[in-house]
Chain A
């Protein structure tokens, strides 16, 4: 048997480019990040990349194999296959399959708090006209099961859903009864301050496997500052709620998020230390969004995305330090971004998807029977702008999907088709948020150079990529550990 040398199997090395995008590294202008259609990537010298683009790469170079292996180029079509690229792309966009999985039920707008950044447009505790009626609830449950998803996450929100807990109970029971024939996998989440939790409420929640998501903005002085109650004891009540929730439902069932105000940005370490002190292993550092009361109070509580990114770097340094000391504490958004960079998988967060998650990944059933593709669309409606309303719970889901509101979402909902996004190296990992752009810039397509959404996303991706390159191997392991855990988790949680 005569054996052929390696050279024989090289085939036709007149390679062609596959769809790719690139970005000069902000910390090293001589090198570029190159991403494939599906978000696989490598970093190369810019002049080598330029040679690659102009067809001058030699098949013997390791960069040739590296680019082939990531489907940035393809050589002999008779010997190569693009099946893996298609498979990666489908895997990355896996959230498209099956339709919306996250269903948010706003049972009441009433709340005890008067948070300046509230995006809900809360109502006073006594105003029961802002509660969901039984008729709305029943219709909403019918619509819920019109969707095909095999897994449904039902999230109760408000205002404060505990103020109308009977409706929460009723919805849960209606859903579970219907599910006996439907046989979907169900997840129940309640986004609540956890104030004044009763034993009966806890017992019900345990019986139905609820997860609790609450707001904890940081140490007591900060939390109470951000989240005023007339009694001025929000922090104490929140802690009590967390404690009791953990006791009855288990530690893993209770999670917390921050909302960051201008004051919060000054104390990243204190916020994180508070979470550690309370035994949390997960923290969400959420910047403000321009909705509801947050918009009105922007001057006092707002900050630029640049300021947020500075805060974030300090926070991440501190988190890594804590993890190095042996205490596991991850930041949830960071974990998701890292999973995008380091794994081929899609994720459960509806707010960073292309096509957008609004309406396609999540649906919001408001207390008054109106339906929206996202929380933000609901916020806009509460502020008087119904551009993104889908319809009412007593209409069919087909009506919603063909509504003008949904059309507006879809028209600007594919990041790969948006100006500037189309050429961005991060676009396979990023998302479109037409409603956010509409709210901030007045136009759902948006202007990327002045877009806070873009600034945040690029800032975070750049920050994480730089750390991935430059950080110590221990820190890289910590970050990698967060990313790899992510592939076994799902879902997005919001808090009151």
Chain B
């Protein structure tokens, strides 16, 4: 049940990104995030002894990179998303007044 430590550079990844990435591992691991001087330290402790932990550090780094990309996408598209959904549904739903009895 040894804890795996993954360091993520705070200059590259924000706390929010690290948290989101680490969150994915809360099924199979107990997760703790600590702030170092220049980086975040994610501690993953396997919940079950049989878990294959060989890839988890690499996967977490990949997930952090992906979360970073998602943050960019989100900042660019958040507003238009709401506008588009509203426009689409406004045209779709008929007014429900007077339906049935």
The chain A residues found within 8 Å of chain B, CB to CB, are: 16-22, 24, 29, 37, 49-50, 53-54, 82, 85-86, 89-90, 93-94, 96-97, 99, 142, 145-148, 397, 420, 423, 447, 449-450
Contacts and interface: CB of A to CB of B under 8 A. Distances in A.
Interface stretch (B1-9, B38-46, B66-74): B66-74
B89 A19 contact: no
A449 B81 contact: no
Contacts, number: 80
Nearest to B99: A148
Interface string B68-99: 01101100110011001101110111101001
Closest 6 CB pairs of A and B: A148-B99, A449-B27, A19-B81, A146-B100, A89-B88, A86-B88
A24 B66 contact: yes
B77 A17 contact: yes
B26 A18 contact: no
Given A24-B62, A97-B94, A146-B100, A16 B76 contact: yes
B26, B27, B100 — most chain A CB neighbours (10 Å): B100
A19 B78 CA distance: 7
A20 B73 contact: yes
Contact of B84 (A16, A19, A29, A146): A19
Given A147-B100, A148-B99, A449-B25, A53 B77 contact: no
A89 B66 contact: no
Interface of A is mostly: mixed
Given A17-B77, A145-B100, A86 B91 contact: yes
A407 B33 CA distance: 35
B100 A17 contact: no
Contacts of A148: 96, 99-100
Given A19-B84, A29-B62, A420-B23, A93 B101 contact: no
A24 B76 CA distance: 21
A223 B90 CA distance: 49
A422 to B, nearest CB: 9
A20 B80 CA distance: 11
B39 to A, nearest CB: 22
B24 A37 contact: no
A181 to B, nearest CB: 11
B91 A19 contact: no
Contacts of A145: 100-101
Contacts of B91: 86, 90
A17 B94 CA distance: 30
A303 B26 CA distance: 20
Given A86-B88, A145-B100, A53 B73 contact: yes
A50 B69 CA distance: 7
Contact of A449 (B23, B69, B80, B99): B23
A73 to B, nearest CB: 10
A19 B77 contact: yes
Nearest to A144: B100
Given A89-B85, A449-B26, A96 B92 contact: yes
Interface string B24-52: 11110000000000000000000000000
Contact of A97 (B23, B25, B70, B93): B93
B27 A22 contact: no
B84 A85 contact: yes
Contacts of A147: 99-100
Nearest to A94: B92
Contact of A90 (B20, B72, B88, B96): B88
Contacts of B101: 142, 145-146
B89 A90 contact: yes
Contacts of B66: 22, 24
B89 A96 contact: yes
Nearest to B87: A86
B51 to A, nearest CB: 12
10 contacts: A20-B77, A22-B69, A24-B62, A49-B69, A53-B72, A54-B72, A97-B92, A148-B100, A397-B100, A450-B26
Contacts of B70: 21-22, 423
A50 B70 CA distance: 10
A130 B92 CA distance: 41
Given A53-B69, A145-B101, A450 B84 contact: no
A90 B92 contact: yes
Nearest to B92: A90
